[in-house]
Amino acid sequence: MKSSVSRAPHADANTERDANMERDPPVDRTRLRVLLLEDDLSDAELAERALTGAGLAVSFDRVDTEAAFTAALERGGYDLILSDYNLPSFDGLRALEILGARAAEVPFVLVSGALGEEKAIESMKLGATDYVMKGHLDRLAPVVRRALRDRKAVLREIVVGLVLPGLIEKAEDGRIQPGLRRRQLQQVLQ
């Protein structure tokens, strides 16, 4: 007996999306603010396509000079920095130094076409979160996801270190009702 149920025109797309979700965990759909230090517009577009194609919602601010990079850092609010290594007026290591001087906890990923092993190691020692070769931009989304997860874990540790002692003190003094302790701790840890 033949079924009379017709498939919706987008059913195949849903099946494909569901299969992809099994491979890649769902992504928080809040838009990530990315500061992109890149002088080549086509390379910037490739990086954007690599992230959006992997399901990340991003907005980019592209800069290509030290002055513009510094000004963007002063405005702040970035979730991630992607930086080319070789720029006409300065390089990714200098950008990393500028970021480090501000003590900003923003993941910094170098994206380069010609980053040797020595420079990659040097960049990691200076505080780069990771690096991706431009010829392997398929690695960019997983690197970004891991960098953001790691940043969230570090920030959570900082918050717990700052807030938890105060909560414990309040609980010991009886200033927190026993039924609320768990909820308050869960709020801190989220």
Distance from the Cα of residue 137 to its chain's centroid:
15
Q: Are 102 and 73 in contact (CB under 8 A)?
A: yes
Identity of residue 19: A
- From the DSSP assignment, how many helices (H) and strands (E) are in the chain? 7, 5
CATH of region 27-150: 3.40.50.2300
Helices 117-125, 92-101: axis angle to 10 degrees equals 10
CA distance 40 to 46: 10
pLDDT tens digits in sequence order for the chain, 190 residues long: 333 322 233 334 333 433 443 344 444 447 899 999 999 999 999 999 999 999 999 999 999 999 999 999 999 889 999 999 888 888 888 999 898 887 677 899 999 887 777 887 888 888 888 889 888 999 999 999 998 888 777 766 666 666 666 655 555 555 555 555 555 555 655 5
The number of residues in the chain equals 190
